[in-house]
Amino acid sequence: MAKIIGLTGGIGSGKTTIANYFKEMGLPVYIADDKAKEIMQSQSIIKQIKAVFGDAIFEKEVLNRAKLADIVFNNADKLNQLNAIIHPAVKKDFELWLQKNKNYDYVIYEAAILFESGRYKECDVVITVTAPEEIKIKRVIKRDKTSRKQVLERMNVQWNDEQRIPVSNFIIFNDTHKNAKQEVVKILKILNIKQNHS
């Protein structure tokens, strides 16, 4: 069975950019947050979300993610309730994906809340991506067309780098893409992973 490299980092750290570098080097990559978004469209999950959060966060049966985010990022209990619905479904989906990619030596599991969800325990190696706080905030404002206040709210419900770094095997400092790419190559060498193998 393939070994799992957990890839994490705070909002705006550039995890997905790093995940894409690993993909370019030939490693299969599972983006947990993207899968969670897909799973949230399924009827059985929508039913559970409605039961907990009510109809107000739906518009013509379509989930309004911004309204849901407003609720959960300001209320730890509600966030836990949402995670209790989404996490088991993502875990199941990942296990099926892992079966399909079991012939690889390593696969990448990218998740924003790898530590908070306890999923890091299932990883053989953990990489934390970090960047200066101001760079992270600017990236998220630009990407999500959101406000500084909203970015900080989301940061506050995640672990910070001081918590992540001591329990990670590798740290990628993603202030510039060039540096980050070199870090990825270095990690592949240390783990003795051949690049671009199929």
Residues contacting residue 126 through CB under 8 Å, at least 6 positions apart: 5, 6, 7, 8, 114, 120, 167, 168, 169, 170
Query: Do the beta carbons of residue 177 and residue 13 sit within 8 Å?
Result: no
In the three-class reduction of DSSP (H, G, I as helix; E, B as strand; rest coil), residue 173 is classed as strand
Q: How many CB atoms lie within 10 A of CB 37?
A: 13
Residue 126: burial class (beta carbons within 10 Å; 0-12, 13-18, 19+): buried
| Angle made by CA atoms 147, 161, 89, in degrees to the nearest 5 | 75
Q: Check whether 16 is labelled as a binding-site residue.
A: yes
In the three-class reduction of DSSP (H, G, I as helix; E, B as strand; rest coil), residue 7 is classed as strand
Number of H helices, E strands in the chain: 9, 7
Strand segments (E) across the chain:
3-9, 29-31, 58-59, 62-63, 106-110, 125-130, 170-173
Measured CA to CA in angstroms, residue 12 lies from 24, 78, 142, 189, 194 at distances of 21, 23, 10, 26, 29
DSSP label at residue 176: S
Per-residue pLDDT at 193: 84
Q: Check whether 146 is labelled as a binding-site residue.
A: no
Q: Check whether 8 is labelled as a binding-site residue.
A: no
Per-residue pLDDT of the chain (198 residues; tens, 9 = 90+): 899 999 999 999 999 999 999 999 999 999 999 999 999 989 999 999 999 999 999 998 889 988 998 899 888 899 999 999 999 999 999 999 999 999 999 999 999 999 998 999 999 999 999 999 999 999 999 999 999 998 998 898 889 999 999 999 999 999 887 889 999 999 999 998 876 644
The ranges assigned to domains in the chain are 3-190
How far apart are alpha carbons 41 and 181 in whole angstroms?
34
Token output for 176: 């510039």
Q: Check whether 10 is labelled as a binding-site residue.
A: no
Per-residue pLDDT at 32: 95
Q: Check whether 15 is labelled as a binding-site residue.
A: yes
The CATH number of domain 3-190, selected from 3.50.50.60, 3.40.190.10, 3.40.50.300, 3.40.50.1820: 3.40.50.300
Q: Check whether 186 is labelled as a binding-site residue.
A: no
Q: How many CB atoms lie within 10 A of CB 49?
A: 18
What sign does the CA torsion over 174, 36, 68, 53 have?
negative
